[in-house]
């Protein structure tokens, strides 16, 4: 075929209309997005199925006293109870409404472990200790309610707090055995799903609209909402322009762990913003202890294999390496800049999420935490 004929043949190639070209581009984009999501879920599934170091099984009897508060504390209770049942010989379950001291004296456990402890009668604890049974409390809300926890911690043999800056406070107030033990990810609740998510969001935030969060998000809310963004939680009608965001704010809906995990899996970027220690409208922390430790949501988001953007707390790097296993921000503008960046840099976003999952399964599960606790109490 002559060059002339080749050129003529090429000139007769069909010309796509704008609508057909847009459709074709959309098909390519959909294919690329599906390929990226498939890679993410395949890698995550591989990480989950890698053999984890087995945890020791102990011939112990633990009487577990739940918080008794219901949701949102009940998922913590479930995580601890289920984990304990796989790590010790016997677990007896109770709650603050029951005669805990009578149950302990009848069953003679090796340990009475209390979550939260706000509602348990202190005389029950004293009777248990007088009988020679060890007691421990795992505090759930430090440092926000230290005015109340200071009254109860002295009635326990061992105190475990999720806030590093509360350790010395309790020691100075007569507690000889105080230990830093943050919560973790319960992988029955938070995990990477293996199939494409039914949800498709760019950005999500799940949590209550404490005033520090309202003040932080308000200047950048319009820019955040210009993406496929959804906020969920109580009090978000405090935002000055709340009405303008319509269904992008799911107001007042408490989400179960399963629903939350679905949102995390279906979101490209999940924002984490800690509450303030200075909000006297909700806190009981008159000494204004400054928090340094990450909240439980930090570990739960990472376990779901999504990129987490969190405000940088002083002790965060103990758990995740910023820029490698998690991403941080220190101002509204920096948050917005990183949202814009990672929404257009799929590979970087995906790799940080996968490294965060791997670190979580290695170091930040309830099995790891409870093993650490039991190693302290029964060295």
Domain assignment of residue 349, given as a range: 201-363
CB-based burial of residue 262 (10 Å sphere; 0-12 exposed, 13-18 middle, 19+ buried)?
Answer: middle
| Range list of H helices, the chain | 3-11, 18-49, 74-85, 100-107, 122-130, 146-152, 167-172, 211-217, 221-225, 257-265, 296-303, 332-343, 346-363, 366-377
**Cα dihedral sign, 253-258-264-267:** negative
Within a domain: 192: no
Whether residues 347 and 371 share a domain: the answer is no
The CATH number of residue 234's host domain is: 3.40.50.2000
Whether residues 346 and 371 share a domain: the answer is no
Partners of 201 in beta bridges: 267
Whether residues 212 and 300 share a domain: the answer is yes
Whether residues 167 and 124 share a domain: the answer is yes
Distance CA 273, CA 313 (A): 10
Whether residues 293 and 326 share a domain: the answer is yes
Whether residues 88 and 212 share a domain: the answer is no
Within a domain: 126: yes
Residue 205: alpha-carbon gap to chain centroid: 12
Whether residues 237 and 341 share a domain: the answer is yes
Whether residues 233 and 124 share a domain: the answer is no
The CATH number of residue 173's host domain is: 3.40.50.2300
Distance CA 338, CA 304 (A): 20
Block mean pLDDT (10 aa), the chain, length 379: 46 57 54 70 93 92 96 95 98 97 98 96 97 98 94 96 97 96 98 90 97 98 98 97 96 93 97 92 84 97 98 96 98 98 97 98 98 97
Whether residues 161 and 84 share a domain: the answer is yes
Whether residues 303 and 327 share a domain: the answer is yes
Cβ-contact 128, 97 below 8 angstroms: no
Report the number of distinct structural domains present in the chain: 2
Residue 79: alpha-carbon gap to chain centroid: 13
End-to-end CA distance of the chain: 86
Within a domain: 348: yes
Distance CA 321, CA 319 (A): 7
Whether residues 234 and 356 share a domain: the answer is yes
Helix axes 296-303, 346-363, angle to 10 degrees: 120
CB-based burial of residue 243 (10 Å sphere; 0-12 exposed, 13-18 middle, 19+ buried)?
Answer: exposed
Distance CA 90, CA 96 (A): 20
Within a domain: 66: yes
Whether residues 209 and 166 share a domain: the answer is no
**How many C-beta atoms lie closer than 10 Å to residue 155's C-beta?**
21
Q: What are phi and psi of 24, to 5 degrees?
A: -65, -45
Within a domain: 44: no
């Amino acid at each position: 075929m002559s060059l002339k004929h080749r050129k003529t043949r090429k000139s007769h190639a069909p010309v796509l209309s704008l609508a057909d070209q847009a459709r074709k581009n959309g098909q390519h984009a959909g294919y690329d997005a599906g390929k990226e999501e498939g890679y993410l879920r395949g890698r995550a599934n591989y990480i989950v199925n890698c053999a984890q170091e087995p945890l020791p099984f102990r011939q112990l009897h633990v009487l577990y006293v739940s918080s008794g508060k219901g949701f949102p504390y009940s998922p913590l209770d479930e995580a601890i109870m289920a984990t304990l049942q796989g790590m010790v010989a016997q677990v007896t379950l109770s709650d603050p409404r029951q005669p805990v001291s009578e149950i302990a004296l009848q069953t003679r456990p090796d340990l009475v472990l209390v979550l939260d402890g706000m509602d348990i009668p202190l005389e029950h604890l004293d009777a248990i200790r007088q009988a020679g049974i060890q007691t421990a409390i795992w505090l759930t809300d430090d440092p926000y309610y230290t005015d109340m926890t200071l009254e109860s911690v002295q009635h326990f043999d061992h105190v475990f707090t999720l806030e590093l800056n509360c350790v010395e406070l309790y020691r100075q107030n007569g507690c000889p055995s105080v230990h830093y033990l943050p919560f973790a990810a319960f992988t029955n609740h938070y995990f990477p799903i293996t199939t494409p998510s039914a949800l498709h969001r760019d950005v999500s935030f799940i949590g209550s609209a404490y005033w520090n969060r309202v003040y932080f998000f308000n200047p950048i809310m319009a820019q955040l909402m210009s993406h496929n963004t959804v906020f969920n939680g109580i009090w978000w009608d405090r935002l000055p322009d709340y009405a303008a965001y319509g269904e992008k704010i799911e107001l007042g809906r408490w989400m179960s762990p399963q629903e939350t995990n679905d949102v995390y899996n279906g979101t490209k970027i999940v924002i984490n913003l800690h509450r303030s220690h200075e909000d006297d409208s909700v806190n009981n922390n008159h000494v204004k202890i400054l928090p340094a430790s990450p909240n439980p949501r930090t570990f739960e988001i990472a376990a779901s294999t999504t990129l987490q953007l969190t405000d940088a707390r002083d002790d965060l790097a103990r758990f995740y390496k910023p820029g490698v296993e998690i991403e941080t921000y220190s101002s509204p503008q920096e948050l917005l800049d990183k949202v814009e960046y990672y929404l257009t840099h799929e590979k970087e976003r995906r790799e940080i999420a996968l490294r965060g999952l791997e670190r979580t399964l290695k170091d930040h599960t309830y099995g790891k935490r409870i093993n650490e606790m039991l190693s302290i109490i029964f060295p």
